[in-house]
Structure 1
Amino acid sequence: MTAHTDPRTTDKSVFPDPVYKETVLRPLFDAVKTHHVAGFRAVDRAHLVMLAETGILSRETASGIARALIEIEREIDPATLSYTGEVEDYFFLVEAELRKRLKPDDNGRLHTGRSRNDIEHTLFKLALKPRLDRLAAQLRALIAAALTLAEREKETLIVAYTHGQPAQPSTLGHYLSAAIEVMLRDHQRLMQARELIDLCPLGAAAITTSGFPLDRHRTAHLLGFKAPLQNSYGCIAAVDYVTGVFSAVELVFLHLGRLIQDLQFWTAFEVGQVYVPNAFVQISSIMPQKRNPVPIEHLRHLASQSVSRARMVRDIVHNTPFTDMNDSEGETQEAGYQTFESGGRVLDLLAALLPALSVDSRRVAETIRRSCITITELADTLVRREGLSFRAAHEVASAVARAVVAADGDLPRDGYAPFVEAFRHAAGREPALSREDFAIAVSPENFVALRERFGGPGPKVLSEALAGYRAELAAAEDAATAIARREEAARRELDAAFTALAGAA
């Protein structure tokens, strides 16, 4: 019979295993150096101030820890550090440095009532907030650029497409207004995601808070959070702040990708209703005639990269346990930060490109002529002025369109004779609509001008809509400014409280 021994009594290995060190611990340490040092310092300071204010630590002890933290910040530049494996991670590096500077009785007292679990989620939220704020500001700048273009071109005719085919005339302002509404809704989703980021996990400790009388509201306030996140288990397990942020970010670029695809289509030689200026055009190295609007291609693939990166973060969390786990932490967040980098490039480039675009009215007019896309208004006019049912009017208009397209004609000029013939056949009488009335009815200008319904491209309702979008954008700017001011005030308050603590006798 084989004797069994407890491996714990024979294990002579030493942490960390070299492969584990290089594949996991070093990359995580380097990521903290890059993204979380400022957050670590703020968390330590806020927690220490709270421990002193609540009396959990004496003022004398807290003051000594504060001075030690200042010494560590002055003497150690994290950017110059290389991971050696002497300590597990950056948190334990600071712990080790504190031990060198504090009395033995004060070692470890800074960690009273907290865990790396709640610290790490607090760090991630602190790192996400400025990234999300910058992305939201870039999105607002894009909305402003789109609004400026929409206001400038609110009466400029374009061809609107459905199923890849010319459908009806509209205006560039009306088209952009649809995109602006989506961008405003996407901005709202970003801000809703930020609401969850703005709830602080610190003080939840490992799972269940602490036996110490921590003031979680105070640390949340000092760190610039709106409030603490309530349930302590949720603080370390409910990573919906991660999925919420990256879901909202993903939608921004998924939706923008559709607008970018239209720009690609509209600038194609065969369509050509939008002109891209030379500043955004690259030439061929071999074909002298080529004008390549390459920035649009970069917009398309960078938007796709941003969608994929955001979706990757969400997918990593799929089917993970509802508990604290590494899947939503270090490497995942590090990968997620790249979403903001590529996404920001999309927003900045598109905000620069949009105002530079112009509509090629000649190409628009030619496409309208060839496609007879104003014929819908002829059917509507026959219902209103001739008393036909819409189905009968639709059949008359369809016959006119077929005849004009077959002859490669111009609807206002060449459509009246086919119209009279089709009308006689459908109604059994002569139309009251004169040739001049017919030409006006099927003109693209008339088509747009008549559509003064709510949400339409008519000049009055479109101007009202654009003014409404301006007001919504201004309100979003004001809200962002208010958040920034609140968080800046919290930073100043933390600095003052910590400085006073460090200077205490």
Structure 2
Amino acid sequence: MSVNDPRQSDTSVFPDPVYRETVLRPLFDGAKTHHVDGFRRIDRAHLVMLTETGILDLKQAAMIAGALEAIDREIDPSTLTYTGEVEDYFFLIEKELKARIGADIAGRLHTARSRNDIDHTLFKLGLKQRIDTLMAQARNLLDSMIAAAEREKTTLIVAYTHGQPAQPTTFGHYLSAAIEVLLRDMERLEAARAIVNLSPMGAAAITTSGFPIDRDRVAKLLGFAAPLPNSYSCIAAVDYITSTYSAIELMFLHLGRLIQDFQFWTSFEVGQIYVPNALVQISSIMPQKRNPVPVEHMRHLASQTMGRARTVLDVMHNTPFTDMNDSEGETQQMGYEAFASAGRVLNLLAAFIAVIRIDSKRVAENIRRSCITITELADSLVRIENLSFRQAHEIASKVARAVVAENGGLEQDGYEPFLAAFRELAGREPAISHEKFAELVSPEHFVAVRDRLGGPASKAMDAALSAYKAKSDHFKMLAAEHEASEQKAANELNEKFNALVEAR
């Protein structure tokens, strides 16, 4: 009995129509949308290196350079429609090269490289540019937050714990806490950029090449800090992806918490924040309503950004340690959506924080009703009356309960309950007068005495703001260095490539 060999009877031709429409066309469309410039730069840098190392002679290189220049001039990628004649955008460029200079010369451009190292280099170029844009937007938010914190460093607010009024602080102090988290998130994103900024070119398929290539030269021409050393790592280690999207995920998880507070603080019952009319939409049916909907948009966009970043990380989970499609075109394109929504949040939040103001009348009333300065009364009893903190806490607790029961305020209504509680629990008269009592339980005094490191008092806040400005300046310096490095590489690549074009 003979066994049929399916290879002998297979008359099908690549690409299968369904595969073409479900895989190849989307990948082609993604490449022509997102990676045309990357392909162009990689081709040019690799060609320059092949020429400088003598792998190609000047005549061959000049012919290839002229053809690449003609392709750029004559073909608008946005007008291309995928037909299935070639597998992908890479092979389209190779086909165009062959049409202009013949298969023998055109095929020499691919010496000592693979789509493996090309693809990861391509994706790193795309990520680096997007990280730089996102960092610029984050710096803008940081500066907006620092300016607001400085402007509002003495503006009282109610600080909440467990969803309940806890203690008075200032809006500047609150924003400073958020600034510190943002600074750490930006440091994580900057660290991710350093991982992205290592070139895979020269790894070829997996193990580099027997040709005398210069990996450092290609890295320099493409604006990378250096080559990624291990060639297997170049095509297998996707930590440049996971580090980037982990940093994004954390940044927007953290910003989402800040935005959620703003949502709570703008509620009618709390009213701690006033949002200007320019950022308020009016109900179509209820004319009394002021809806600060930008907060809602920031909240759900932050969640979308976090979710998109997490999705990229999930795609990387349990993948083999090798080159694989899971980390490539379609995953990269999906990840770019995280950058897009991230930028919208950062821009809107920076504008929002710049213009919102604290409703001091509402804050004062909420402080009065909630007795949230009572902790300082207990602390003061320890310092002034030489009581133990536990005894002082019991006295303060009795005072707070009595005042709240009468819907009063500590400054106006707390002294008589204080006298009664002190006499009962301390067994003597207090040294604290009515006037002194009112001072001790005022929110201004509460903040002023908290001048320790990290506290809301002016001295501590001034030191913190100075440190934040220094870090902001550091990020700006790094951005300027990155821009200068990228521009220098681009200029050198253009100069070397144009010299090859002119050598024809």
- Paired AA for residue 77 in structure 1: D
The whole-number CA distance in structure 2 between the counterparts of 1:51 and 1:8 is: 39
The whole-number CA distance in structure 1 between the counterparts of 2:112 and 2:354 is: 54
The whole-number CA distance in structure 1 between the counterparts of 2:65 and 2:105 is: 12
Give aligned-pair identity as a percent.
67
The whole-number CA distance in structure 1 between the counterparts of 2:71 and 2:323 is: 30
The whole-number CA distance in structure 1 between the counterparts of 2:122 and 2:31 is: 10
Displacement of 1:322: 0.6
- Paired AA for residue 354 in structure 1: I
Displacement of 1:440: 0.5
1:7 equivalenced with 2:1 (yes/no) = no
Equivalent residue number for residue 86 of structure 1: 85
Equivalent residue number for residue 17 of structure 1: 16
Displacement of 1:17: 0.5
After TM superposition, the structure 1 = structure 2 runs for residues 22-421 of structure 1, keeping only pairs within 5 Å, are 22-421=21-420
Higher mean C-alpha displacement, 325-334 vs 68-77:
68-77
The whole-number CA distance in structure 2 between the counterparts of 1:283 and 1:74 is: 51
Equivalent residue number for residue 487 of structure 1: 486
Displacement of 1:104: 4.5
The whole-number CA distance in structure 1 between the counterparts of 2:106 and 2:146 is: 58
Number of positions where the alignment pairs a residue of Structure 1 with one of Structure 2:
504
Q: Gaps spanning 5+ residues in structure 1: where? A: none
- Once the two structures are superposed, residues 378-430 of structure 1 have per-residue CA deviations (whole angstroms, 9 ceiling, x without a partner) of 00000011111111111000000000000111101111111111111221111
**SS of 1:107's equivalent?**
helix
Consecutive aligned runs of 4 or more in structure 1 exceeding 6 Å deviation? none
After TM superposition, the structure 1 = structure 2 runs for residues 420-459 of structure 1, keeping only pairs within 5 Å, are 420-459=419-458
What RMSD in Å do the two structures reach over aligned CA positions? 0.8
Higher mean C-alpha displacement, 495-504 vs 257-266:
495-504
The whole-number CA distance in structure 2 between the counterparts of 1:488 and 1:246 is: 26
The whole-number CA distance in structure 1 between the counterparts of 2:264 and 2:283 is: 19
**SS of 1:170's equivalent?**
strand
The whole-number CA distance in structure 1 between the counterparts of 2:96 and 2:288 is: 66
**SS of 2:281's equivalent?**
coil
- Paired AA for residue 484 in structure 1: E
- Once the two structures are superposed, residues 62-94 of structure 1 have per-residue CA deviations (whole angstroms, 9 ceiling, x without a partner) of 111111111111121111111000010011111
- Once the two structures are superposed, residues 34-72 of structure 1 have per-residue CA deviations (whole angstroms, 9 ceiling, x without a partner) of 000110000000000000000111111111111111111
The whole-number CA distance in structure 2 between the counterparts of 1:186 and 1:209 is: 35
Displacement of 1:343: 0.8
TM-score, structure 2 as length reference: 0.99
The whole-number CA distance in structure 2 between the counterparts of 1:419 and 1:206 is: 80
Displacement of 1:103: 4.1
The whole-number CA distance in structure 2 between the counterparts of 1:37 and 1:232 is: 25
- Paired AA for residue 248 in structure 1: A
After TM superposition, the structure 1 = structure 2 runs for residues 488-503 of structure 1, keeping only pairs within 5 Å, are 488-503=487-502
- Paired AA for residue 67 in structure 1: G
- Paired AA for residue 169 in structure 2: S
Higher mean C-alpha displacement, 34-43 vs 92-101:
92-101
The whole-number CA distance in structure 2 between the counterparts of 1:305 and 1:41 is: 32
